[in-house]
């Protein structure tokens, strides 16, 4: 597999991880300085994380990102493309089981705590206490919990569809590979002096 193709897949996986992580809860695109600027408390953010099912969403994002990466690699293989749909489904199931095992191997209380700490730290930069209270109030309703339950499945399916669609779109792949070929030498030139220090 050529480096541009591998980089193309890495870019797509990064995009899918970003989309999954970015949709754990709704957030504003920018902060509004006129709003009450009270920094939310750790306790309120931890409560919001529980209500929005953050830990499960984080784990799902890690698993889906890994699965997307492995699947994209396998789907590009000519041998995979020659398989019947039934055989391709079996391969996908094997990859899903493999991803579950990888997640189980890295899923520790320390990783969960690190993810929660990052969530709290980052949320404090974007939300006021009033906004966190409003989100918690909403997520604490039956309709809020219904949305939380559906959001994970929705984002997983959407991301998978998006990544698979992009990987199968020859025009998109050509554009991505051409962009990578064009800018990769510049990236290497900028990084090499720093990496050699």
Residues contacting 42, CB < 8 A, separation 6+: 120
Q: Which of 73, 71, 62 is nearest to 14 (CA)?
A: 62
pLDDT at 8: 52
Range of lowest pLDDT (19-23, 28-32, 162-166): 28-32
Residues comprising the chain, all counted: 197
- Dist. CA 23–CA 156, nearest whole Å: 11
Range of lowest pLDDT (17-21, 36-40, 43-47, 50-54): 17-21
pLDDT at 197: 66
Residues contacting 118, CB < 8 A, separation 6+: none
Question: Could you tell me the residue ranges of all domains in the chain?
Answer: 3-23+41-178
């Amino acid at each position: 597999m050529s480096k541009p193709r591998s980089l193309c897949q890495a870019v797509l996986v990064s995009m899918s991880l970003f989309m999954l992580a970015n949709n754990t809860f709704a957030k504003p695109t920018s902060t509004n300085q006129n709003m009450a600027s009270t920094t939310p408390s750790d306790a309120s953010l931890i409560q919001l994380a529980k209500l929005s099912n953050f830990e499960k969403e984080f784990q799902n994002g890690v698993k889906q990102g890994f699965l997307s990466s492995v699947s994209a690699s396998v789907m590009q293989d000519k041998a995979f493309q020659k398989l019947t749909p039934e055989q391709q489904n079996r391969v996908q199931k094997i990859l899903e089981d493999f991803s579950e095992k990888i997640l189980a191997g890295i899923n520790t209380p320390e990783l969960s705590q690190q993810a929660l700490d990052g969530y709290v730290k980052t949320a404090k930069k974007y939300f006021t206490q009033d906004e966190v209270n409003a989100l918690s109030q909403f997520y604490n309703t039956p309709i809020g919990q219904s949305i939380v339950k559906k959001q994970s499945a929705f984002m997983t399916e959407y991301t998978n569809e998006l990544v698979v669609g992009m990987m199968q779109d020859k025009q998109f792949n050509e554009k991505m590979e051409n962009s990578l070929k064009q800018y990769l030498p510049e990236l290497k030139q900028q990084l090499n002096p720093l990496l050699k220090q």
